[in-house]
Amino acid sequence: MKKVLFLLAAFVFCLQINGFSQKSKVGFYTGYTNANMYGKIGGERVKDDPLSGITFGLVLDAPIGKSHMSFSPSLSYVQKGRVTFFENTRASNLKEWIALRYAELNANFVYNTNGAKGNWFIGGGPSISFDLPSKKVSKTDELKTETNLNFGQEANSDVRGIDYGANLLTGYRLKGGFFFAFNYTVGIRNLVPVQDGNDNNIRNHCWGIRLGFLINNK
């Protein structure tokens, strides 16, 4: 099912590239992500450290008529998660992190300044992420262990699979096609698999910096 959803997202993305606008430009990018997970577990607020990761993907820029607006969806591989430190007075300190991996589709609408030497842009839109194989890692000074995360909504699941939320971005694009951008994605879905009448909730938050290039930039 996950592969079907991923292929459907990629198919929709390709349709937009081919048919949305004759002046559409496609590009690629790579960048850095800084992610964390916020919420409450057992009535206590989750206080963890951010997890650094990478992202890369494809982006479309499709002008809407003769306005300053464009439709700019992106399809990305993105790393999210969190880091937790446990102090142990009898042994080594324990560091544990959840390394989530997603295929993420953002459907952004962007305002462009259309300057003479370059273009500032700002916008946002909905975001949906499909889970990819992910791990939970535990590490002390002497030992490191990795276990696969189970996605789902059953009692033995670690995290819910599909995530959705909102994405905001801003950046600058040179006339030659090179661009940089800052984005912030807020997860809306509660990723705790089983509720059982409690108020446990945890959600993804992630910001990132991207560098990329638009092909056929005219």
In one letter, which amino acid is 128?
A: I
Percent of the chain with pLDDT over 90: 37
Q: Residue 31, Cβ neighbours under 10 Å: how many? A: 20
Check residue 149 and report its DSSP letter.
P
In one letter, which amino acid is 210?
A: R
Residue 6 pLDDT level (bands cut at 50, 70, 90): low
Distance CA 141, CA 16 (A): 49
pLDDT at 29: 97
Distance CA 12, CA 20 (A): 11
For residue range 92-102, what is the model confidence (pLDDT) as tens digits? 566 788 889 99
pLDDT at 4: 44
Residue 87 pLDDT level (bands cut at 50, 70, 90): low
Q: Which two tokens stand for residue 101?
A: 């991996």
For residue range 107-120, what is the model confidence (pLDDT) as tens digits? 999 999 988 888 99
pLDDT for 194 beyond 70: yes
Q: pTM for this one?
A: 0.83
Query: How much is the average pLDDT of 105-133?
Result: 91
pLDDT for 202 beyond 70: yes
Widest CA span of the chain, in angstroms?
Answer: 68
Q: Nearest 5 degrees, angle CA 106-CA 199-CA 49?
A: 60
pLDDT for 43 beyond 80: no
pLDDT for 38 beyond 70: yes
With beta carbons less than 8 A apart as the criterion, state whether 49 and 83 touch. Answer: yes
With beta carbons less than 8 A apart as the criterion, state whether 26 and 58 touch. Answer: yes
Q: What integer best gives the mean pLDDT of the chain? A: 83
Distance CA 207, CA 53 (A): 10
Please give the CATH architecture assigned to the domain spanning 2-10+27-214: Beta Barrel (2.40)
Distance CA 34, CA 104 (A): 15
pLDDT at 206: 95
Checking phi first, is residue 108 left (phi over 0); if not, alpha (psi -120 to 50) or beta?
beta
